[in-house]
Amino acid sequence: MNLEKVVFAFFILLALTLNFGFFLGDLTDPVQHSAYALFAALVVSLIASVLKIGHRTHVDAMLLATSLVADLQLVTAAIVWGVVVYGMGIDMNPHYMSIIVSLSGGALLANGISVIILIIETSTHRL
Amino acid sequence: MQSLFTLVFRRMRLPLVALVSVYAVSVVVMTLIPGLDDQGQPWKMSFFHAFYFVSFMGSTIGFGEIPYAFSDAQRLWTTVTIYSSVIAWLYAIGTMLSLVQSQLFRRALSEQRFQRKIKHLKDPFYIICGFGDTGQSLVKSLLHNAQRAVVIDNEAERIDMIDTQDWDYALPALIGNADDSNNLAKAGIHSGNCKGVIAMTQNDNTNLQIALSAKILEPNMKVICRAQTLDAQRNMESFGTDLVVNPYETFAEDFVLAMEKPSMYLLERWITAPADTPLIAPVFPPKGHWILCGFGRFGKAMYQRLLERGNPVTVVEAKPNWTHPPKNTIIGRGTEADTLKAAKLKHAVGIIAGTNHDVNNLSILLTAEQLNPKIFSILRQELAVNQHLSKAMNPGLLMDHTQIITSRILENLTTPLTGHFLRQARTNPEQWASILISRIIALLDDEVPTTWVLSVRKDKTPAVWDQLRNNQDVLLGDLMRSTTNHLVNLPCIPLLLQRRRKLHLLPDEGMPLKFGDRILFCGRDRARNRMNLICSTQQKLHFSQTGEVRSDGWLWNLMFNRKLEKTPSMLDRAHKYSIKNGVTKQKKKKKTD
């Protein structure tokens, strides 16, 4: 067993599950989507990206690309949240919440693909 | 590119993860700890404020406690955050710095830079493998002749030295084994711009392998090799290496030439010496009894040539078990008077200091000249560092393999016509050479003649090209007139004219030029500049043909178009030259009489 591989897979999976946790719930209801969940998803997604950088193969490049997409979507969601609450000075309403949650939905898709690639890559290794 | 990027991120992965984690924990805990706002109401920091606070605190900017003064619990956590974030930053920056300073990183960086340079090199270039004395001398001369070069050497010190010197053009260099074909590929052997590979290392086997790899990778590539032994030389020639330079054999051949045809030898020295060399005096190696110190590769080449020409040779050798000298060899280094006396120095006409040790060679000659001041000496110089000593010693002939290899290769690459000329010249008798020498010396000051090649091509000689295209004849002599008086010749002599496959030795001035002609001239540098002027401007060419100054404006030509027809017909000019040549021939006759 390679510890590096474990850590690697751990963060990729964790990014997916945290993202899923945030996404879960009514699309427009601010109460059902915690800022902490978004923050955790974003941080883990960033760590996963850092871990993916620096590999050489084509599969690794694909993994990195999905991770960057997830980062982009989650960072955008966080920025939207911050701008709405502090920039525009209004309370979170269903309209903006739906934008944030759908952005995280996109990230969820990217993270899902990341996990699928990881599974495919793992299955090609001889056990 | 990829490798450097990979290298950085592989090393930086852990520090970056640490940094992200520290920030994440700091921010989250910050949002969880309750504080009091300005009205004394309980208040919790939002993510936005927490991230803002941790960012400026972690980077030690420190705007203070915002938006409200902190509670004690918040201050406690801030203290923890300060230390952890600073440590995380130090860890990240420290790793980065040590990475930048590491040998591995620098190697990757310089290799990346090298490959970028090769990619952007738009001019044709040569790959030079081996950057020792000879490699450096060759590269210097190549760049000086407006050729581009790329260097491969396995010693980092030699490559580092490149930055400390002044080169005529940028000189990309790679640290690595040149016999590794990957390095040849990195140096751009596959790019269409590579004109040739030159193997200049001190090791015959390495050179052999470089030549072989180059020929296999690019069968049409020009490959030039340095060889130390006849065996290696033949091996290299066997698979089509374009030029193999064996400095010992080359010098031995030249020595024989100097002995038998001193004027021919002098002519060769003059033509092949680099520009600005002071005029070289003729040498006359005497025939008779020679003493040869050192029976290595050089000694063997000289021994064979001397014996073939019927000169008795006494060999002095310190390590006969290694070199297997002939039977009646005197054992000793030759640096002591006893050994030289035993070799009958008093009766010898010449001595060759040919060991592979510069100090011993100098010592041999000093001892020999004390015992027999009239003796003709030949000095072998191994290291370029000793060139001042060798020069001060002032031997009859100096065997400097660096100089021999450099000039031979340079001649092959930059002025192949010179090689053609020398080969043609060698077929002529000694008297032919001495006449040519006396003609050349009449043109010179105190420096050897410059040689240059003139090609009748649209881009090189536009004026000549235009006239030929208008079916007007241009004679060889037309290019050699002074730009101020068309009856006076420039100080130069046409040595060889190449027309397609045909070579004309010492072409006549009345010879009409054709498209694609290449002419080798020798003479003074001034003549070369003037000739370039004549070949590129219609006005000057017209003047040297007729002595008339012609206005050449476009409007002028349009209005007075008739003037152009006034150029004298070819017959007139040919007539004029025949008279001139008749005169010079008579002069020559007088000289030879």
- B36-47 pLDDT per residue, tens: 888 888 888 888
Region B169-191: what's the mean pLDDT? Answer: 88
Sign of the dihedral through C-alpha B108, B113, B114, B120: positive
Per the CB < 8 A criterion, the answer to whether B27 and B47 are in contact is yes
Give A123 to chain B, closest Cα distance, Å.
24
Residue B416 has pLDDT above 90, yes or no: no
Q: Which residues of B touch A86 (CB under 8 A)?
A: 46, 48
The domain that holds B572 is classified in CATH as 3.30.70.1450
Structural domain boundaries, residue A73:
3-124
Q: What is the pLDDT of residue B589?
A: 45
**Residue B551 pLDDT:** 60
Which residues from A are below 8 Å from B8, CB to CB?
Answer: 54
Mark whether B441 and B569 lie in a shared domain.
yes
Is the pLDDT confidence value at B581 over 90?
Answer: no
**pLDDT for the residue numbered B510:** 87
Q: Please indicate, yes or no, if residue B584 is contained in any of the structural domains.
A: yes
Q: Say whether both B444 and B587 belong to one domain.
A: yes
Task: Identify the domain containing residue B28 by its residue range.
Answer: 2-101
Residue B182 placed within a domain? yes
The model's confidence at residue B591, banded by pLDDT at 50, 70 and 90, is: very low
Number of domains in chain B: 4
Q: Quick check: is B191 in a domain?
A: yes
pLDDT tens for A76-113 read: 999 999 888 888 888 888 999 999 999 999 999 999 99
pLDDT at B587: 43
Q: Are A48 and A66 in contact (CB under 8 A)?
A: no
Please tell me which residue, B89 or B543, carries the higher pLDDT value. Answer: B89
Min mean pLDDT across B26-35, B200-209, B419-428, B477-486 is at: B477-486
pLDDT of residue B592: 43
The predicted complex's ipTM stands at 0.75
B30 touching A, CB under 8 A?
no
Smallest CA–CA distance, residue B379 to chain A, in Å, is: 58
* Domain harbouring B86, CATH code: 1.10.287
Over residues B95-141, the pLDDT tens digits come to 999 988 888 888 888 888 888 888 888 889 999 999 988 999 899 88
Which residues of B are less than 8 Å from A36 in CB distance? Answer: 28, 31
Q: For residue range A21-79, what is the model confidence (pLDDT) as tens digits?
A: 999 989 888 888 988 999 999 999 999 998 888 766 788 888 889 999 999 999 999 99
Q: Does B16 touch chain A (CB under 8 A)?
A: yes
Domain boundary among B414, B449, B466: B414
Is A54 close to B13, i.e. CB distance below 8 A? yes
Q: Is the pLDDT of residue B552 over 80?
A: no
Same domain, B284 and B362: yes
Evaluate whether B186 touches B213 at the Cβ level (below 8 Å): no
Calpha distance B444→B492 (Å, rounded): 9
**Residues B339, B340, B342: CA angle, nearest 5 degrees:** 65
Q: Hey, what are A72's tokens?
A: 């982009």
Q: Domain for residue B551, yes or no?
A: yes
Distance from CA of B105 to the nearest CA of A (A): 14
Q: From chain A, pick out residues whose CB is under 8 angstroms from the CB of B24.
A: 39-40, 43
Give residue B559's pLDDT band: very low, low, confident or very high (50, 70, 90). Answer: low
Choose the weakest-confidence range: B29-33, B61-65, B364-368, B420-424. Answer: B61-65
Summarize pLDDT for B216-259 with one digit per residue, the tens.
999 889 999 999 888 899 999 998 889 999 999 999 999 999 99
Q: Is the pLDDT assigned to residue B324 strictly greater than 60?
A: yes
Residue B115 lies in a domain: no
Let me know how long chain A is.
Answer: 127
Give the residue among B397, B119, B111 at the shortest CA–CA distance from B254: B397
**CA dihedral for B479, B481, B487, B489, sign (positive or negative):** negative
Do residues B256 and B239 share a domain? no
* CB proximity list for B88: less than 8 A, separation 6 or greater: B15, B18, B19, B21, B22, B23, B58
CA distances from residue A49 to B8, B88, B93, B98, B220 in whole angstroms, order as listed: 15, 18, 19, 23, 48
Within 525-544 of B, beta carbons closer than 8 Å to A belong to none
Hey, which residues does A70 pair with through a beta bridge? none
Q: Tokens representing B109? A: 């960086």
Our measurement of the distance from residue A33's CA atom to the centroid of its chain's CA atoms, rounded to an integer in Å, reads 15
Is residue B208 assigned to a domain?
Answer: yes
Mutation to test the A interface, candidates B8, B16, B26, B51, most A Cβ within 10 Å: B16
Same domain, B435 and B487: yes
**pLDDT at res. B248:** 92
| A82/B6 CB distance under 8 A | no
Q: What is the CATH number of the domain that holds B160?
A: 3.40.50.720
Residue B404 lies in a domain: yes
Q: How many C-beta neighbours within 10 Å does residue B220 have? A: 5
What is the tally of structural domains in chain A? 1
CB atoms within 10 A of CB A4: 9
Residue B4: pLDDT over 80: no
Contact A54 B9 (CB under 8 A): yes
Q: Do B353 and B407 sit in the same domain of this protein?
A: yes
A92 touches B at CB < 8 Å: no
Cα A93 off chain centre by: 23
With CA atoms as reference, the chain A residue closest to B9 would be: A54
- Across the range B192-204, mean pLDDT stands at 91
Chain A contact set for B27 (CB, 8 A): 39
- Does any domain span residue B537? yes
* Average pLDDT in chain B: 85
CA distance B129 to B183: 10
Across B205-212, average pLDDT: 92
Whether B263 and B383 share a structural domain = yes
Give the lowest-confidence range in B55-69, B190-204, B339-353, B539-553.
B539-553
pLDDT at B561: 57
Q: How far is the alpha carbon of B16 from chain A, nearest alpha carbon, in Å?
A: 7
Best residue in A42, A45, A47 for a mutation probing chain B (most B CBs within 10 Å): A47
Taking CB atoms and an 8 Å cutoff, what residues of chain A touch B48?
82, 85-86
Q: What is the mean pLDDT of residues B320-328?
A: 84
For B253, the enclosing helix (H) or strand (E) is helix B247-260
Q: Are residues B408 and B511 in the same domain?
A: no
N-to-C CA span, chain B: 74
Higher pLDDT, residue B578 or B448: B448
Q: Which residues of B touch A54 (CB under 8 A)?
A: 5-6, 8-10, 12-13
User: B24 at the A interface (CB within 8 A)?
Assistant: yes
